Amino acid sequence: MTITSSLNAGVAGLNANSNRLSTISDNIANSSTYGYKKATADFYSVVVHGDLSTSYSAGGVRSTSYRLIDEHGPLIGTSNSTDFAIDGRGFMAVTTIDAVKRGGSSLPISLTTTGSFKADADGILRDSTGKVLMGWVANPDGTLGNYPRDTMSALQPVKLDTNQYISNPTTELSLSANLPATATAAGASGDPQEMTIQYAGNLGTSETLHYTFTPTVPATGRSNEWTMSITDSASDNAVIGEYTVVFDNSQASGGTLASVTTISGQDYDPATGKIPLTVGGGSINMNIGAIGETGGMTQLSQDFAPIGKATNGTPVARLVSVNIDDNGYLHANYDQGFSKVIYQIPVVDVPNPNGLISHSDQAYESPADSGAFYQRDSRDGPTGKKVRYSMEQSTTDVTSELTNLITTQRAYSSNVKVIQTVDEMLQETANLKR
C-alpha cells in the first residue's frame, strides 16, 4: 500500500508540474501581448487519513490554475489617440463586431482593460480582434443623460461619422457697443445708430442680426435713454426684440446700464446681463452686461463704437479626430476648430475581478462569482482613469517566469525519479518469488 501510494503521489506531482508548466509557457508566450493578465498555478497537498504511527500513505498533490486579472500592467505611450487604457482599477465594456452586424436590441457584453481602437469602414470604433468599444451616446448639444449604472442595456457601439458634416450654430453672443452720450441731450438730431452682428445658423449658413439704436431726445437736459430694436435675417428680417435701455449718469457708475425694459421679445436678466433672443429655428443668449457693471453696453462721450460678436458657432464642420479626456468623455474635434462630447465611456467596476471568466483576445465575461458590476465615471470612487495614447502592457515578468521554469523542471524531474525508484522497488519485490 505504501509503495503504491508513492507511485500515485509521483504521478500527481507530474500532473501538477505539467499544469504549472502550461501557465508558465502561456505567460512567456504572451509577454508582449497588450492587456494580457498572467496565469498562475497553486499546489495543494492531498492527505490520506490513516494510522501514522504504523504506516504512512502518500496522498500526493493537486493543482489549480487561475488568472490574476486584478493585476495591472505598466502603460506604454502610442501615437494613436484612440488607443485606450485604464490607469488603475476597472474595465471598458466591449462587444463583438459580428454581434453588431447581426443587429438586435441586446448585444453580448464583455470587459477589457485596454484596446487599440480604430474606425472601420462603417465608422465603428473596433480593434483588430473585432472588439467594439461601447459607450453612452451624448445628446446633440454634447450633454449626457441620466443613464442606468447597474445595467449595460443603455450602452451602444461607439460610431464615428467621419464623412458627415455637421452644423455648429451660434448660441452665445456678446454686445459691448458704446452709444454716444451726446445723442440723448436736448437739441440732438435724434438720428439712430445701426450695427450688425453675424452668427452661424442651424444649417451652417451665415445669418445677421441688425441692431437699431434710437435715442430719446428730451426738451431739456439728457435722457440717457435709447430704444434698441433687433431684426433677424433668418426670421425674414422680422423684429425679434425691442427694448428701452437707460444708462446711469452718476459719478460712481456713469455710462453703465441702469435699466433695461422689454417692449417685445424675451426679458432681460439683470443678474447675468443676458437676453435670450429667439432667432430662426433656435435661441441665442445675448450678453449686454449686468446692471452697473463695465464690460457690456455703455453710453460715454460722443463716439459710437459698434462692438459685438458671436462668441461661439462656426460654418459647416467635418470630423477630423477624436480623443478621450480623464473623465471618460469622448470628444469629436472638427476642422472649424471646435469640439463637442459625443460619447461617455464608463469604467466598469467589478468587486472580484479574479472571478471573471477569461476569453481569447484579453476579454472577460462577468459571471455571478465576480460580484455585481457598477458603471462609474472615470476616476470616480475606486476606479482608475481613462488614458488616451496608451496601451496596457502584459503583466508577465519574463525573468520571474524563467526562474519558475527552472524550478518546475527540477520538480518534474524529481517526480520522475520517484516513479523510477518505486518501479525498481516493485521489481525487486516481484523478484522475491524467483
pLDDT in tens, 66-84: 999 999 999 999 999 999 9
pLDDT at residue 315, rounded to an integer: 81
Q: How far apart are CA 424 and CA 427, in angstroms?
A: 5
Q: What percent of the chain has pLDDT over 70?
A: 97
C-alpha cell read off for 56: 504512512
pLDDT at residue 1, rounded to an integer: 55
Contact assessment for residue 367 and residue 384, using Cβ atoms and an 8 Å cutoff? no
Instruction: Please name the residues in contact with 389: beta carbons below 8 A apart, sequence gap of 6 or more.
Output: 77, 78, 79, 80, 81, 83
pLDDT at residue 53, rounded to an integer: 64
C-alpha cell read off for 349: 467596476
215, 181, 190: which is closest to 300 by C-alpha? 181
The size of the chain, in residues, is: 434
H-assigned helices in 91-185: 97-102
343, 344, 348: which is closest to 113 by C-alpha? 348
Instruction: Convert 112-145 to b/e letters by CB count within 10 Å (16 or more is b).
Output: bbbbbbebeeeebbbbeebbbbbbbbbeeeeeee
C-alpha cell read off for 311: 462668441
pLDDT at residue 52, rounded to an integer: 62
Contact assessment for residue 298 and residue 255, using Cβ atoms and an 8 Å cutoff? yes
DSSP state of 122: T
pLDDT at residue 25, rounded to an integer: 96
Q: Which fold has domain 172-312?
A: Tick-borne Encephalitis virus Glycoprotein; domain 1 (2.60.98)
Contact assessment for residue 94 and residue 109, using Cβ atoms and an 8 Å cutoff? yes
**Averaged pLDDT, groups of 10, the chain, 434 residues long:** 80 93 96 96 84 73 92 94 93 94 87 94 92 93 88 92 81 94 95 95 90 96 96 95 96 93 96 94 93 91 92 86 90 88 94 92 85 89 92 96 95 92 85 74
- Taking residue 379's Cβ as centre, other Cβ atoms within 10 Å add up to 16
Order of strands across the sheet that contains 257-264: 193-200, 206-215, 225-232, 238-247, 257-264
Contact assessment for residue 64 and residue 41, using Cβ atoms and an 8 Å cutoff? yes
pLDDT at residue 190, rounded to an integer: 94
Q: How far apart are CA 434 and CA 427, in angstroms?
A: 12
Q: How far apart are CA 168 and CA 402, in angstroms?
A: 58
pLDDT in tens, 324-350: 998 899 999 988 888 889 999 999 999
β-sheet bridge partners, residue 230: 211, 241
pLDDT at residue 319, rounded to an integer: 87
pLDDT at residue 219, rounded to an integer: 94
Residue range(s) of every CATH 2.60.98 domain in the chain = 172-312
377, 364, 375: which is closest to 324 by C-alpha? 377
Contact assessment for residue 365 and residue 58, using Cβ atoms and an 8 Å cutoff? no
Lookup result for grid cell 473623465: 327
Amino acid identity of residue 175, one-letter, is: L
pLDDT at residue 50, rounded to an integer: 60
pLDDT at residue 434, rounded to an integer: 62
Amino acid identity of residue 383, one-letter, is: T
What are phi and psi for residue 215, nearest 5 degrees? -75, 150
- Taking residue 111's Cβ as centre, other Cβ atoms within 10 Å add up to 22
Question: Is-above-0.85 flag for pTM?
Answer: no
